[in-house]
Homo-oligomer: A and B are copies of this chain.
Amino acid sequence: MAEGLPIAIYSANSRFMSRASDTAYEKIRSFILYGEARPGMQLTEERLCEIAGVSRTPVRDAVQRLENEMLVVRSASKRLSVADWSDDEIDEMFALRAMLECHAAERAARRMDENGLDRLRKVNGDLTRAVQLATPDITGFLEANRQFHDLILEYAQSPRLSKLLPALVEQPVVRRTANQYSGDDLIQSAKDHDELIAAFAAGDKDWAGAVMTSHIRRAFHSFHLATRGSETP
């Protein structure tokens, strides 16, 4: 049922997901993002229990988390359904994400150290190799990309940001964007990361913020072009 795609998004709370509520969270999330769930589809707690293989208590726990990420929505009468994002809501996600990632990059620029730079370089090395293949390794790109942004969030040292940002980075959107990328687009991403590293090395927060903003907004326009053609946002 649930595929083995990279599930975790920005955020260090992967843990060992031993807890039933954690497995419920992962399984339901996969069901929604990569499974047979469809936007607007109704979900009952009992059905989710079957999917997750646990009882209602951990399922309710997981659902509340998913509600916060707005992957599921609750009607006035407390019934659950799979979220159905409007174009405006997706645009809004990119806009908010651009603001917050810019802010994260600015903070990280002030707090970066040699060890952090080394780790960023190593991760972006992996990313660069993945995109320079004759047929780019999208999964490898996504994983390295996630690690890169996670690392920046780590150096931003802001618990608030670490809580807010992950909910704005929905992997399916990232994935659809990445699949639409041309080889050149992917290589440009790697170059953006190189420039970010340079900005961090220089301790220039405005530079870092600006690069990050354009990095996200380019992704936004790729997504826009791929999913909605050439209407101007």
Contact = CB atoms under 8 A, between A and B. Distances in A.
Interface of A: 57, 60-61, 64-65, 68, 70, 88-89, 92-93, 95-96, 99-100, 103, 158-161, 163-164, 168
A89 to B, nearest CB: 7
Contacts of A64: 61, 64-65
A171 to B, nearest CB: 17
So how many copies of this chain end up in the complex? 2
A92 B158 contact: yes
Contacts of A96: 100, 103, 160-161, 164
Given A61-B64, A64-B61, A164-B164, A159 B89 contact: yes
B68 A160 contact: no
Contacts of A92: 158, 160-161
Main secondary structure of the interface of A (DSSP, over half): helix
Centre residue among A88, A100, A164 by max chain B CB count within 10 A: A164
Nearest to A76: B15
A158 B70 CA distance: 12
A83 to B, nearest CB: 9
Contacts of A158: 88-89, 92
Nearest to A78: B19
B164 A89 contact: no
A88 B159 CA distance: 10
B103 A160 contact: no
14 contacts: A57-B57, A60-B61, A61-B64, A64-B64, A70-B163, A88-B158, A89-B159, A92-B160, A95-B103, A96-B100, A96-B160, A96-B164, A160-B168, A164-B164
Contacts of A99: 99-100, 103
Contacts of A70: 159-160, 163
Contacts of A93: 160
Nearest to A157: B88
B68 A163 contact: yes
Nearest to A64: B64
Contacts of A161: 92, 96
Contacts of A100: 96, 99
B160 A89 contact: yes
A168 B70 CA distance: 18
